[in-house]
Amino acid sequence: MKRIKPTENNVIPTSQELATLDKRFEEFSAFAGEWLLLKGDQLLAHSQNYHDINAEIQKRGLTDCFVDYVPTCDERDFILI
């Protein structure tokens, strides 16, 4: 698969979600230890249990959403090598 650089004509689907995570960082920090389900700039669900998020995806029939985990304070200092 050839990688392409995003332009205005070929926007990566998650770019809006990544921008939302960056813009709403302070707000989303309240969900430390939880999974977030985003679509565009909307937070659709959050839960400590990933299976709840997956069930929400299935229930809504989503195919183009973004899931992110908000680490706790202890997890933020962890580096995986």
Q: Write down the pLDDT at residue 78.
A: 62
Contacts of 2 (CB under 8 A, 6+ apart): none
What's the rounded mean pLDDT across residues 63-72? 91
What global pTM score does this model have? 0.75
At 18-64, the pLDDT tens digits run 999 999 999 999 999 999 999 999 999 999 999 999 999 999 999 88
Is there a contact between 66 and 14 (Cβ–Cβ < 8 Å)? yes
